[in-house]
Amino acid sequence: MNDIMQLLVDEFTGFFGIHHWMAMFRSGDYHSLLTWKGIQAALSPLIPVLLLIEMVRGGLYRTFKVENYKMPFLIYIVNRFISRYLSVGAVAFCIGLFEGHALFTTTLTWYWFIYGYIVWEFAHFVYHYLGHKVRLFWCLHSTHHAPEDMNLSVTYAHFFLEAPYADIIRTTICLLLGVNPPLLFLIMFIDGTWGAFIHVGENLLKDGRLGFLNKILLTPSHHRVHHAKNPLYMDTNFCNLLPIWDKAFGTLQTEEKEIKIEYGISRQVRRGHFGDAYFGEFYALFIDMKRAPGLINKLLYIVMPPGWSHTGDHKTAKIVRHNYLQQASDEPADQANPTYTN
């Protein structure tokens, strides 16, 4: 019984990231706050505490719904037991394999930090873009898009293999382009903190545009657009903090006041159902491959975008968005407005 209670205490303190604070309170020694590692540890409770405030504020204003948080927390619990060390292992593997093959080496200076962040955003864009444009990768990423509400718990909703594959892509690109590990870890910490914050829900932050920052950074408003299944918003805003690559590749989309965001994926998902959110896209891929004639068509379902069909009746995000924009401008669309199996 004591072991179970200790496990629960460890999980609670681990989720809120308060181990470091507890150790400082016990010892009375706060010198670690003068080190970068200590600052990182001290800031780790930020997102969990904001999540708690978001839930409490939602309860006070009677907008809190258990079903909006249930599935992300179930996913978080499952992932804690499955993938605790996979992502760290993937980063360490890439460092050992690719660090020696870098085109050049950066140092921990402000100008290399700017360079490194631009490279990191490119690497993140590549991973994120592939997560929406390659069916197999979408199966891993779709769990994060399955919730039908936006709140800070969504940041914990990921398929357990997504973080390792994401970090392999991002770390490899950064290392080969000269971003050395200390600089990379600093960028990953900043980007991870901001990447969690941009999932903040309307219970805590009604207008996610953040004023003038909406023109400079990827704000919660931009990320709400990214999580939307509205045709205009599909497959946009792939960056995490700096929208430079979304601007460069034409995937930046601002939130339109007259369009109410509809969260989730356009495949019908059983609301609050863990199994459907976690494995549903894998099952859908399996069915499509099973029905497809010939080995080539079966393999194409793995690598082509979600919505691609061997029959030629494609319902990809690109086609859905194109048709929507044509209809919005009163031009004849090439097809009827299809639904997108995201």
Give pTM, 2 decimals.
0.84
Tell me which residue range forms the domain holding 10: 1-64
- Residue 263 pairs in a beta bridge with 228
For residue 98, tell me if it sits in a domain: yes
- Residue that finishes a domain, picked among 29, 64, 99: 64
In a shared domain, residues 245 and 155: yes
Full 3-state SS string of 257-322? CCCCCCECCCCCCCCCCHHHHHHHHHHHHHHHHHHCCCHHHHHHHHHCCCCCCCCCCCCCHHHHHH
Q: Are 145 and 342 in contact (CB under 8 A)?
A: yes
In a shared domain, residues 147 and 266: yes
pLDDT tier at 214 (50, 70, 90 boundaries)?
very high
pLDDT tier at 11 (50, 70, 90 boundaries)?
low
In a shared domain, residues 84 and 223: yes
Q: Are 138 and 161 in contact (CB under 8 A)?
A: no
Q: What is the pLDDT of residues 296-334, one digit of tens each?
A: 999 999 999 999 999 999 999 999 999 999 988 875 545
Q: Encoding tokens for residue 220? A: 């919660």
The count of domains in the chain is: 2
For residue 332, tell me if it sits in a domain: no
- Element of type H or E holding 85: none
For residue 278, tell me if it sits in a domain: yes
Q: What is the mean pLDDT of the chain?
A: 88
Nearest in space to 221 (alpha carbons), one of 236, 205, 209, 203: 209
What is the distance in angstroms between the CA of the first residue and the CA of the last residue of the chain?
45
Least-confidence region, from 12-16, 23-27, 62-66: 12-16
Nearest in space to 160 (alpha carbons), one of 177, 178, 143: 143
